[in-house]
A and B are shown apart, each in its own frame.
Chain A
């Protein structure tokens, strides 16, 4: 059902698709550190037109754990510097590889590539756009470390521009989650997304919701979104997660963050039983291994 499909946006996936990928990820888990040779002689092209160390390394690692190999192209490469279009690059690379991971500064680049390419395109992030494997690994983390059905979750931070939160909210809605959106004024989630959520609550302060949730998903508040640096400092401070903020939370609360973090979570929170962000980053490996195997082999 998945062989040769493109993975561009979470919007393209049904709940059944997501459950299938998460089940495959669970079966891949035992091999995430030891490897399993199911993609021998297969080649994954990593086309990174903007730097993203974490995503690139984790796809590279996932492919190699599966016994396959990778080709890399970055925006420093000669064809790109000479002004070749992305469309042409895709047409060339599809002859060299079995699947492509594309990271591009322009939104919609992966969708366009998927209209051109005969081999699967996996969106590794397009500008401020989608990053579906991030959403899949977020869902896997929630399933593994908490529970997916009827979840109480709060999304915290820049919910206007941070599309990680948009995709996650969209996907969680398929699992009947109760979603609290906590954002500073001016950085709230756009109305057209909020309107698609069935059980949603808006808040400006994390204290209003933190005792009622199973998962707290923290995202970065970017400095460049604020014209006034003092305003940024004020907001960033009020959204910082410290030991004081997480007093009296649910016993089994987990805290997630797509990383890299700046000041959103104080380092002392890392030592608490609630922190899951480093585990979340590790889960990127089994999830991406599962996805690569089902896109190239149809099954694992």
Chain B
């Protein structure tokens, strides 16, 4: 029988330098990668763990994303709050956590979410990025056409 400690390490090993996004709402790890613009062509080593047991999150499940050799800055990670409001970001240097931050929902988000209104000017060929005001957590209002998104924000991620 494999000891518990070893089992955990097999699943996601510690990283030497980089960022660990922990406590992501289960099922949203891939959306987090999308928000961070991490695609199949990214050079960084990325580990994704899904549906790991969690004492803190609802249903006892969470996702974790580890990105090696890249330290995320607040402006990039705050967008994550849209889909994973309880996420925490740990910055790792030489296997040590040197910084631990929660995500803070910004007042305005630009070029993260597409406006569901196809006739909105932000969905045209004009040189303009989509822009939403964050009214409450999970309620967004388009800066241009004032369309409201109040459910399934992940479906509109750019």
Interface residues of A (CB under 8 A from B): 9, 11, 85-87, 104-109, 111-112, 115, 126-130, 190, 192
| Alpha-carbon gap, A127 to B119, bound state (A) | 8
Task: List which B10-45 residues lie within 8 A (CB) of chain A.
Answer: none
Instruction: Name B142's contact: one of A108, A127, A190 (CB within 8 Å).
Output: A108
B96 within 8 A of A: no
**Is B119 a contact of A112 with CB atoms below 8 Å?**
no
Interface: B72 (CB within 8 A): no
B142: min CB distance to chain A, Å? 7
Which of A11, A108, A115 contacts B120 (CB under 8 A)? A108
Contact A9:B146 (CB < 8 A) given known A87-B126, A112-B128? yes
Give every chain B residue within 8 A of A108 (Cβ-Cβ). Answer: 120-122, 142-146
Given A112-B122, A115-B128, 19 extra CB contacts under 8 A:
A9-B146, A85-B126, A87-B128, A104-B121, A106-B119, A106-B120, A107-B120, A107-B144, A107-B146, A108-B122, A108-B146, A109-B144, A111-B144, A111-B145, A112-B126, A126-B121, A127-B119, A129-B145, A192-B150
- A293→B117 CA distance, assembly (Å): 35
5 intermolecular pairs with C-beta atoms under 8 Å apart: A86-B126, A106-B119, A111-B143, A115-B128, A126-B145
Closest to B148 in A: A192
B121 near A112 with CB under 8 A, answer yes
Which B residues lie within 8 Å of A111 (CB)?
121, 143-145
Chain B 135-154 near chain A by CB (<8 Å), digits 1 or 0: 00000001111111010000
Given contacts A112-B121, A128-B119, A192-B150, whether A107 and B127 have CB atoms under 8 Å apart is no
Note all chain A residues with C-beta closer than 8 A to B150: 192
Chain B residues at the A interface, C-beta cutoff of 8 Å: 117, 119-122, 124-128, 142-148, 150
Q: Which residues of A contact B128 (CB under 8 A)?
A: 87, 112, 115
Min CB–CB distance A171 → chain B (angstroms): 15
Q: Which residue of the partner chain, among A87, A107, A130, A190, contacts B119 with CB atoms under 8 Å? A: A107
Q: What B residues does A107 contact at CB under 8 A?
A: 117, 119-121, 144-147
The distance in angstroms between the C-alpha atoms of A11 and B145, with both chains bound, is: 12
CA distance A9 to B145 in the complex (A): 10
> Would you call B144 and A85 a contact (CB within 8 A)?
no
How many angstroms between the C-alpha atoms of A106 and B150 in the bound complex? Answer: 22
Contact call B125/A85, Cβ cutoff below 8 A: yes
Q: A127-B119, A128-B119 are in contact. Are A106 and B124 (CB under 8 A)?
A: yes
Chain B neighbourhood of A115, CB < 8 A: 128
A229 and B124 alpha carbons, distance in the complex (Å): 32
Would you give the shortest CB distance from B138 to chain A, in whole angstroms? Answer: 13
Known: A105-B119, A108-B122. A85 touches B127 (CB 8 A): yes
Top 5 A-B residue pairs of the complex, sorted by shortest distance between their CB atoms:
A108-B144, A107-B145, A108-B145, A108-B121, A106-B121
